[in-house]
Amino acid sequence: MNRLRSLAWGLASAAVGVLFLAIWQLVAWKAWVSPIFLPGPGRAWAALVEGFTAGNLRAQTLATVQRMLLGWVLASVVGVGLGAVIGSSRRARDYVAPMLEFIRPLPASAIVPVGIAFFGLTKAMVVGVVAFGSIWPMLLATIHGFASIEPRLVEVSSVLRLSRLQVVWKLALPNAMPDILAAMRLGLTVALILSVVGEILAFQGGLGSHILEASRAYRSADLFAGVVVLGIIGLISNISLSLAEVHLLRWRRP
């Protein structure tokens, strides 16, 4: 029954995709939007293939993915580690929470000038902006997961005379893991967005620069090819983390 349901949802998703392509092709064929700004799916696909085979789209894609992953991994390590420390101590939460609430609303784009001042128009600046913008989901989710541990489990750990490290590893971390994994998926999406924004603002090689150059030269097919690649990266990263989440949380299944 579950397999039939999954198959039905898969077919429905494929049907929606086909319908979207059909509407896109119809709009392009009828020229309801100027072909200068909206190419058909065929032109976008041809630009995509040419960019990977004869152009530099492959190198630009790798550059964007590298910055996205570097910033995301840095944000994950710092966010989960710092969140575990803060979430494990009520006093730390009381002291640090006001500062976190002050910094958290700052848009990552507002940090770009600060990053440029420290690192210049470099790849390190883009990675730093990506890490700053994507750290907050992991940090806040970890704090919440560690702080919301069942009080009775804490009492049991005291009776069993577990050390603080054992409580963190055996009780707090499994309790926070669902929140952390969900936040890591959100953080990876934010990291992809900020990688493109950083590349556009700092004009570093990548899909952001590819899209910017294509828009300035009115090469709409190349622009849409870059957008399609971004969508594929987001889809693959989301599926990969979903599979990892299923594997890491298999102990929750009945």
Check residue 72 and give its pLDDT. Answer: 94
Q: What is the pLDDT of residue 243?
A: 87
Please tell me the CATH code under which domain 40-252 is placed: 1.10.3720.10
**What is the pLDDT at residue 77?**
93
Q: What is the 3-state secondary structure (H, E, C) of the chain?
A: CHHHHHHHHHHHHHHHHHHHHHHHHHHHHHCCCCCCCCCCHHHHHHHHHHHHHCCCHHHHHHHHHHHHHHHHHHHHHHHHHHHHHHHCCHHHHHHHHHHHHHHCCCCHHHHHHHHHHHHCCCHHHHHHHHHHHHHHHHHHHHHHHHHCCCHHHHHHHHHCCCCHHHHHHHHHHHHHHHHHHHHHHHHHHHHHHHHHHHHHHHCCCCHHHHHHHHHHCCCHHHHHHHHHHHHHHHHHHHHHHHHHHHHHCHHHCC
pLDDT, residue 74, reads: 94
**Per-residue confidence (pLDDT) for residue 251, from 0 to 100:** 66
Domain borders along the chain are: 1-29, 40-252
The pLDDT value recorded for residue 61 is: 92
pLDDT < 70 positions in the chain? 1-2, 108-109, 154, 156, 159-160, 251-254
pLDDT number for residue 62: 93
